[in-house]
Amino acid sequence: MNFFIITSLTKDISRIDLIGILIGHLIFGVALTQLLDWTWLKNLMSEEDKTRMLKSYTWKDLLVDGAIVTVLLGIIFLIISIFL
């Protein structure tokens, strides 16, 4: 049933609308990142903890991080392909 809601929505949204929505979200994300104060992040861990964590980072962790990024990109491309 939800599939029919998505397909009826795609008939109402044009490519220009989709591009506008994506660019708007991108601009909002950049603006929000610039407006928020991120200085508290550097105080979360001590230098010794950061060094220990980076030394224990292995190729398996890199594979997991790569898989997460790949899945997220796949979902984004799936959503875009539904509307185009």
Domain coordinates of the chain in residue numbers? Answer: 2-83
> What whole-number distance in Å separates Cα of residue 60 and Cα of residue 57?
8
> What whole-number distance in Å separates Cα of residue 78 and Cα of residue 65?
20
DSSP collapsed to 3 states, the chain = CHHHHHHHHHHHCCHHHHHHHHHHHHHHHHHHHHHCCCHHHHHCCCHHHHHHHHHCCCHHHHHHHHHHHHHHHHHHHHHHHHHC
Question: Mind listing the pLDDT tens digit for each residue in 34-67?
Answer: 888 777 777 888 888 888 888 888 889 889 999 9
Question: Mind listing the pLDDT tens digit for each residue in 7-38?
Answer: 565 566 777 777 888 898 989 988 888 888 77
